[in-house]
Amino acid sequence: HYLSWNVSKRLNIGLFESVMWADTNGRGFDVNYLNPIIFFRAIEFQTGQGAGNAILGLSAKYKWNNKVNLYGQFILDEFSLGDVTGGNKSWKNKFGFQLGAKYFNAFKVDNLLLQAEYNQVRPYTYSHNTEILNYGHFNQPMAHLWGANFRELVLIGRYNYKRWFADAKFIIGQRGFDFNTDEDSFAYGGDIYTNENNRVGDTGITIGQGNKTNSFMTELQAGYLLNPETNLKLFTNIIYRDFNPQTITSTTTDSNTLWFSIGLRTDLFNWYNDF
């Protein structure tokens, strides 16, 4: 469910919620979930679906002026007032947030877009004590590819001049992985597909705990639009990635890679019926 409210011409606020649940009583899909007004938790308690994993979120977008947009999101996976205010960094403080800004026609240069974004998700967010109720699908996290237990800074620049285009992207991040060894088989909160009951502790939970890994990725691309109707482009691309874990394990290794590519790409289908 998503509720969007245009507070003013410049400010938009959204409230969203979702739920993953197990069909524990053989009812199948409960049509009550289609009600966009009632909160999921209230439906669960009323119909006996109590094994669900509900997530609440808040989004906002503010148009600073005709060139600058500010945006953000807040996600809450579990709320316990005593743990939030306790100051002991409880594992139940399962939340994340996003802050970003877009700058159009930056520095008075036509078609130059600059974007900066910061993402942060605490350990064990999106996970559950029943693995099938985590916030994932087809063995992939549905919210962020890194799952949880991370900080990420994203910087993007895009420029177009006639048919020429150029893109640059920089991603700097810190993550906490599980060690997955006989000596240390605890879940540190990054992999949402692990059982949160196997957590390393109840308090003192911090972002980057576990096998702390720093990563850096940059992607540079430039090209020429050959055919606007089919979006046929000639491009060249360079990707550099540095992955530096604190401890080398069988699943987490130190790597430094560089990819270079050149090619043609196009849209196979370009159907427009709104004319």
- Percentage of the chain lying above the pLDDT 90 cut: 61
- Position 274 scores a pLDDT of 60
Residue 44 lies inside a defined structural domain of this protein = no
**What average pLDDT is seen over the chain?**
88
Residue entry with tokens 């906490």: 176
CB 149 within 8 A of CB 130: no
Mean pLDDT of 39-53: 60
Q: What angle do CA 158, 163, 166 make, to 5 degrees?
A: 25
The pLDDT confidence band at residue 168, using thresholds 50, 70 and 90, is very high
- Position 78 scores a pLDDT of 79
- Position 194 scores a pLDDT of 92
d(CA 188, CA 64): 39
Residue 23 lies inside a defined structural domain of this protein = no
Residue 61 lies inside a defined structural domain of this protein = no
The total number of structural domains that make up the chain: 1
Mean pLDDT of 6-30: 83
Residue 123 lies inside a defined structural domain of this protein = yes
CB 176 within 8 A of CB 208: yes
- Position 270 scores a pLDDT of 59
DSSP string across 70-84: EEEEEEEEE--HHHH
- Percentage of the chain lying above the pLDDT 70 cut: 89
Closest CA to 144 of 209, 88, 192, 89: 192
- Position 43 scores a pLDDT of 62
With a CB cutoff of 8 Å and minimum separation 6, the contacts of 158 are: 112, 113, 165, 166, 167, 168
Residue 185 lies inside a defined structural domain of this protein = yes
- Position 24 scores a pLDDT of 67
User: Is the pLDDT reported for residue 39 higher than 70?
Assistant: no
Residue 199 lies inside a defined structural domain of this protein = yes
Give all strands of the β-sheet with 94-103 in edge-to-edge order. 2-6, 11-20, 53-63, 68-78, 94-103, 112-121, 150-161, 164-177, 211-227, 232-245, 255-265
Tell me the CA distances in angstroms from 206 to 75, 78, 107, 270, one per residue in order.
Answer: 17, 16, 39, 47
User: Is the pLDDT reported for residue 146 higher than 90?
Assistant: yes
Range of the domain at 191: 101-265
Residue 96 lies inside a defined structural domain of this protein = no
Residue 241 lies inside a defined structural domain of this protein = yes
User: pLDDT of 106-122, one tens digit each?
Assistant: 999 999 999 999 999 99
Range name among 24-33, 153-162, 228-237 with the lowest pLDDT average: 24-33
